[in-house]
Amino acid sequence: MDPLSEADTNAVIAIVMDLARAGSTEELLEFFDHGLDVDVRDPEGNTALMLAAYHGRGSTVAALIERGADIDLRNGRDQSPIAGALFKGEDEIVAALRGAGADLDAGTPSARAAAELFGRAHLLE
């Protein structure tokens, strides 16, 4: 089988990121089951975990954590998935990422700083 062209690879990544945003977990996981790296990044450096966390897709976040997604991988703006979830007020996702051992001091702003800034410090206690 011939490798995908750059354009085809970018199209696959765009589909994966759309599935993560939408919380289409089953369809998303098929890509990883067929060999796509669970930590593949879009042009902005986002991973499927980052986008699922930011868009409040708890079951997708849980499935990606289970698949071994890097919970601390930051995007091109140095934002971590847990900071994104804090920004959006996604308490369930913050708890899942904390439970998986997310680094509360990684990124800009860090999860600790984001929690303080948005009045959600109680989520990190």
Contact 67, 32 (CB under 8 A): yes
Whole-angstrom distance, CA of residue 15 vs CA of residue 54:
17
Structural domain contains residue 13? yes
pTM to 2 decimal places: 0.94
> Is 20 within a domain?
yes
Q: How far apart are CA 86 and CA 120, in angstroms?
A: 7
**For 76-112, how does the pLDDT look when each residue is reduced to its tens digit (9 = 90+)?**
999 999 999 999 999 999 999 999 999 999 999 999 9
pLDDT for res 61:
98
Write out pLDDT tens, residues 19-50: 999 999 999 999 999 999 999 999 999 999 99
Distance between CA atoms of residues 125 and 112, nearest Å: 10
**pLDDT range class, residue 4, cuts 50, 70, 90:** confident
Domain that holds residue 67: 6-124
Tell me how many domains the chain contains.
1
The CATH number given to whatever domain includes residue 13 is: 1.25.40.20
Evaluate whether residue 95 is within a structural domain.
Answer: yes
Does residue 1 fall inside a structural domain? no
Is the pLDDT reported for residue 72 higher than 90? yes
Paired tokens of 12:
């696959």
Q: Is residue 17 included in any domain, yes or no?
A: yes
Asked, for residue 61, whether it belongs to a domain, the answer is yes
Query: What's the pLDDT score for residue 74?
Result: 97
Model pLDDT, residue 122: 87
